[in-house]
Chains A and B, each alone.
Chain A
Amino acid sequence: MNSTLKQRIAFGAMALTTIVVLVPVFLILGTIVRHGAGALSWQFLTTAPTNGMREGGLFPAIVGTLCLVVGAVVFAVPVGVFAAIWLNEYARETLLTRLVRLAIINLAGVPSVVYGLFGMGLFVIFLNFGSSILAGSLTLAIMNLPVIITASREALKAVPQPFREVSLSLGVSRWQTIRHIVLPNAIPGILTGIILEVSRAAGETAPILFTVAAFYLPGLPKSVFSQVMALPSHLFAISTQIPNISLQTRYGTALVLLVLVLGVNSFAIILRAKLRRARKW
């Protein structure tokens, strides 16, 4: 067999394998859209669940998820962006930065349910926040810190070194340079990281199960110390713990969660593509 033919066969097999990997993605999305679209209605989105969650809508769960996401962003963004600034702009390559990088990798690898345990031990019990929006968002924030740090760091790295050198040579201080020269140029990349964090935080279930999620709570939260329902935990509850719930309601809930998460995600992807093209250097 000659080598060109071999190559053609090999590349064909590789293309086929790649398709096999991607087909399930579209099957999953297709199934959920096909079965779930019928459940969608204005009422489904804006009313509380009734009749043991078998009827009614998702409103409290949607509100709960929004609260958690906002909380997670508020806590994670300042710490994450500052950490990236330290790693990229201040720190020299030492044992300490190596340790920090190892810690970030490790944070990214800790199983989500272990974050749940940790959040429960630290925020719910030790700091006595109780099962609350505050405890849940803090847990999600720490869990998503690696995403923000990594994305922000990439964004800072992409700012050309001469930008800094020119500013510093004009006698501008280190922090002023970062604040007025580096950060404005890195904002798009940082923003993409934040949006990705939002989409991940909205879809996480295990970390919120013991830190905030209520099984059934039709009212809206009153303060950061309130418990809330959330979309992912609601989907889990109605899928596994309530018998005789219509399949359409479950698919509908999955669809709402999916649209929320993928919507936010595609926004990040489009934004990133746009900004890449608009880059001036």
Chain B
Amino acid sequence: MITRDKLEKAWEFSVEKLVVLAGLASIVFVILIFTFLVKEGWRTFVVVGLKDFLLGRQWHPISSPPAFGILPMIGGSLAVTLGATVLSVPFGLISAFYVAEVASPRAKEVLKTGIELLAAIPSVVIGFVGMVVVAPLVRDVFHLNTGQTALTGCLMLSLMAMPTIVSIAEDALTAVPKRYKEAALALGATHWEYLYRVCLRAAAPGLLAAVMLGIGRVIGETMTVMMVTGNSAQIPHTLLQPVRTMTATIAAEMGETVQGSEHYAALFAIGMVLFAATFAVNFLADAFLHRAEAAER
């Protein structure tokens, strides 16, 4: 049955080629994303200029003459991201320590399910709750005209960064070699002393990666910030002001632009800035994770 044998070989050959293609698809998609952002957005850098685009303080996309300065949005994104990071990192890391090292197996199961639940709530639902519940609360507590502020955004986003931070940090803590713990305890350290003198340092690269990935999640979050931060394109001076992030600008304005216009190109250019920022953050996180892996060996 030579023909059947040949057929099978040919089948196997083509399947294996397909497998390789699928394996390389991720690279292709990353390149495609980058290509299309550049294809639609590069004109902005020619017309406006890189410096005026990144450092311009005026964003008036449909006035004539238009102004395409995204500094207020960069400021908005930074304010919200920093605020959310400051809130979520200590809480997230401490929770990760608790879940990984202290909680009983039963409590651990419950806590991890809670975190997974949080990760599963769609961002538009969190934004909705932020809008109808948290924003009025912020308004009343600080006696403001509107509760749609950077602070509201920070609160909601810190919640959304939590699952990323807790789960990656927990992985990092679980990966700390058992012999470290045994050695520390054998030397007379308490479990707590082991945690903050030994475990914290041994897991540091992994914990840093968790923080970076959390930050990456926050920078890119769109729907929630759009719904709770008030969308006003001004450079924020306090967290109690409305702000507008880069992501929200794209989502809010893309529906109203004329395809191919300068405004349209400028929104894609903001997309490029976001792509570059998240790429850098994820690249750093990956580097930390590699160091963590290398340290375990």
Give A109 to B122 CA distance when docked, in angstroms.
16
Across the interface, which residues of A come within 8 angstroms of B190, CB to CB? 3-4, 6-7
B272 nearest CB neighbor, chain A only: A114
Whether the pair B22, A109 counts as a contact (CB closer than 8 A) is no
Across the interface, which residues of A come within 8 angstroms of B95, CB to CB? 14, 17-18, 21
Contact A25 to B114, CB < 8 A, known contacts A32-B125, A103-B26, A106-B282:
yes
Whether the pair B32, A28 counts as a contact (CB closer than 8 A) is no
Whether the pair A118, B27 counts as a contact (CB closer than 8 A) is no
Question: Contacting chain A: which of B35-43, B44-52, B54-62?
Answer: B35-43
How many chain B residues touch the partner (CB < 8 A)? 88
Give A200 to B122 CA distance when docked, in angstroms.
8
User: Would you call B258 an interface residue if the criterion is a C-beta within 8 Å of the partner chain's C-beta atoms?
Assistant: no
User: Would you call B200 an interface residue if the criterion is a C-beta within 8 Å of the partner chain's C-beta atoms?
Assistant: no
Across the interface, which residues of B come within 8 angstroms of A15, CB to CB? 98, 102-103
Question: Contacting chain B: which of A54-62, A66-74, A203-211, A218-226?
Answer: A203-211
User: Would you call B278 an interface residue if the criterion is a C-beta within 8 Å of the partner chain's C-beta atoms?
Assistant: yes
Across the interface, which residues of B come within 8 angstroms of A106, CB to CB? 30, 278-279, 282-283
Determine chain B's interface SS by DSSP, over half rule. helix
Sorted from nearest, which 7 A-B pairs have the closest CB atoms? A111-B220, A203-B122, A86-B23, A82-B22, A7-B192, A121-B36, A109-B282
18 contacts between A and B (CB under 8 A): A4-B190, A11-B102, A17-B94, A17-B95, A18-B103, A86-B20, A90-B19, A103-B29, A109-B213, A110-B275, A111-B219, A111-B247, A111-B278, A114-B37, A204-B122, A209-B255, A210-B254, A232-B124
* Residues of B in contact with A (beta carbons under 8 Å apart): 12, 15-16, 18-27, 29-30, 32-33, 36-37, 39-40, 90-92, 94-95, 97-99, 102-103, 111, 113-118, 120-129, 131-133, 159, 162, 166, 190-193, 195-196, 213, 216-217, 219-223, 226-227, 247, 250-251, 254-255, 259, 267-268, 271, 274-275, 278-279, 281-283, 285-286
